Amino acid sequence: MISQKMVSLVKGSSVIRAMFEEGKNLAKKYGAENVYDFSLGNPNVPAPDAVREAMIDIAKNEDPLKLHGYMSNAGYEDVRDTVAKSLNERFGTSFNENNIIMCVGAASGLNVIFKTLLDPGDEVITFAPYFGEYKNYVSNYDGVLVEVSPNTVDFQPKLDEFEEKITKKTKCVLVNSPNNPTGVVYSEATIKALSAILEKKQKEYGTSIYIVSDEPYRELVYGDVEVPYITKYYRNTIVGYSYSKSLSLPGERIGYLVIPSEVDDYDDVFAAACVATRILGYVNAPSLMQKVVARCINEKTDISYYDRNRNTLYEGLTKLGFTCQKPEGAFYLFLKTPVADDKEFVNAAKKYNILVVPGSSFGCAGYVRIAYCVAYETIVNSLPKFAELAKEYDLT
């Protein structure tokens, strides 16, 4: 009785989520300490103490009618003002509250912006490997996701192929850096080149092509890597941000969209996005959490925790003979599988209670994603299991 569209979606339901459920079952069976669940991007660094303090202080001192009531669909004005000012300080932008829409996490922000922009058949280009849900977010609005094939040398986007794939129907380019699943950060050179191509193509076709920059991992970078703020390089850029990783609040569903005043048809786009927020049933971002993130605007998760995981995992795996690029951001490591069939490797790993996600779920077969946002002990204890796995493939 369910809709035709949903029949196939249920069948091909998220491999990642299925594994999350499987991980919970394995943990029940073998004990959590004997399961190495690298399947889900669920932060393992707790939210900063300031989050707890803000929740308690706000709960104690704010008028519950205002705290829990409806506000404008875009969110509290003072919260949006705080977000805008913080971005301006950090990136030299000049946003104000009318450029910010608070959202139910970045996933809702992407849905809102695709609902706003896409007519049936409109194309959204993205670069493999990419988060598998993008396909669903786009097809929710009868858009077509166009993949640029992966560049497995350094996982920067293939710009030649990108340029070829831009058509009159291209409405958006969906960019995700730091990238899930590779941990790669798109360099400034990449962003500049990508922007130049888009400027040229907009002129050629007389269309507007929006970059939609999905940035849940913006704050998660290691060493002195810089993540360019794309609105500064390309006028028609819309940013989707989430506090899920930066403040370890994925369950709370809080993030925002940035719609700069400079984008084509700004007035319509902003107004339509507010309507989309409402009619998709989000209505507004959760009110208490809006106020909490505004109070914690300068807080950050403890990146050193992930960094230690990253180094330990990278060194451990490469020592065992596995091949991978060292991630610069996010909390994923994209491992080349020693056998072409990544699903076969995923199943082989499962025998050791190691749960990883096949790269084919991200449009890049022959790899697996290892989410290292786990306890350090999980990394350390998994390495002997990875060693046994490596032996199966004669890696050492």
What residues numbered 45-74 form the site for a copy of itself, per CB under 8 A? 46-47, 51-52, 55-56, 59-60, 63-65, 67-73
CB of 55 to a copy of itself, least distance (A): 4
For the bound state, the minimum distance from the C-beta of residue 378 to a copy of itself, rounded and expressed in Å, comes to: 13
Q: Which one among 82, 99, 116, 179 touches a copy of itself, defined by CB under 8 A?
A: 116
Looking at residues 129 to 168 of the shown chain, list those that interact with a copy of itself (rule: CB under 8 A): 133, 136-137, 140-141
Least CB distance from residue 288 to a copy of itself, whole Å? 6
**Residue 242: strand pairing partners:** 255
- Assess 2 for contact with a copy of itself (CB under 8 A): yes
In angstroms, what is the minimal distance from the CB of 231 to a copy of itself? 17
Cα–Cα distance between 258 and 239 in angstroms, integer? 5
Per CB under 8 A, which of residues 218..247 are in contact with a copy of itself?
none
- Does 206 engage in binding with a copy of itself (CB under 8 A)? no
> How many Cα neighbours within 13 Å face the side chain of 350?
15
User: What are the counts of helices (DSSP H) followed by strands (DSSP E) for the chain?
Assistant: 14, 13
* Alpha-carbon gap, residue 240 to 176, rounded angstroms: 10
Query: In the chain, where does DSSP find H-type helix?
Result: 4-11, 15-30, 49-61, 64-68, 77-91, 105-117, 133-139, 159-165, 188-205, 266-279, 287-295, 303-319, 342-350, 376-392
Q: Which position among 19, 26, 95, 111 is part of the footprint of a copy of itself (CB under 8 A)?
A: 111
# binding residues, a copy of itself (CB under 8 A): 84
User: Which residues in the 247-306 window bind a copy of itself by CB under 8 A?
Assistant: 248-254, 264-265, 268-269, 271-272, 275-276, 278-289
Please enumerate in sequence order all residues whose Cβ is within 8 A of that of 16, keeping only pairs 6 or more positions apart, or say none.
Answer: 39, 40, 132, 357, 361
CA distances to 183, 184, 227 from 221, in Å:
9, 10, 8
Q: Does 325 bind a copy of itself (CB under 8 A)?
A: no
- Indicate whether 378 belongs to the interface with a copy of itself (CB under 8 A): no
Residue 117 in the binding site for a copy of itself (CB under 8 A): yes
Can you read off the two tokens belonging to residue 342? 């990544």
* Residue with smaller CB distance to a copy of itself, 9 or 297: 9
Measured distance CA(201)–CA(216) in Å, rounded: 28
Nearer to a copy of itself among residue 92 and residue 120 (C-beta): 120
Instruction: Give the shortest CB-304-to-a copy of itself separation in angstroms.
Output: 17
CB closer to a copy of itself out of 105 and 363: 105
Binding mask 9-48 for a copy of itself (x = CB under 8 A): xx--xx--x--xx------------------x-xxx-xx-
Residue with smaller CB distance to a copy of itself, 211 or 320? 211
DSSP string, 95-128: --GGGEEEESHHHHHHHHHHHHHPPTT-EEEEES
Task: In whole angstroms, give the CA distance from residue 336 to residue 359.
Answer: 9
Our CB check for a copy of itself shows the closer of 238 and 354 to be 238
Question: What is the token pair recorded at 154?
Answer: 């350094």
Query: Residue 191: which of 211, 171, 165 has the closest Cα?
Result: 211
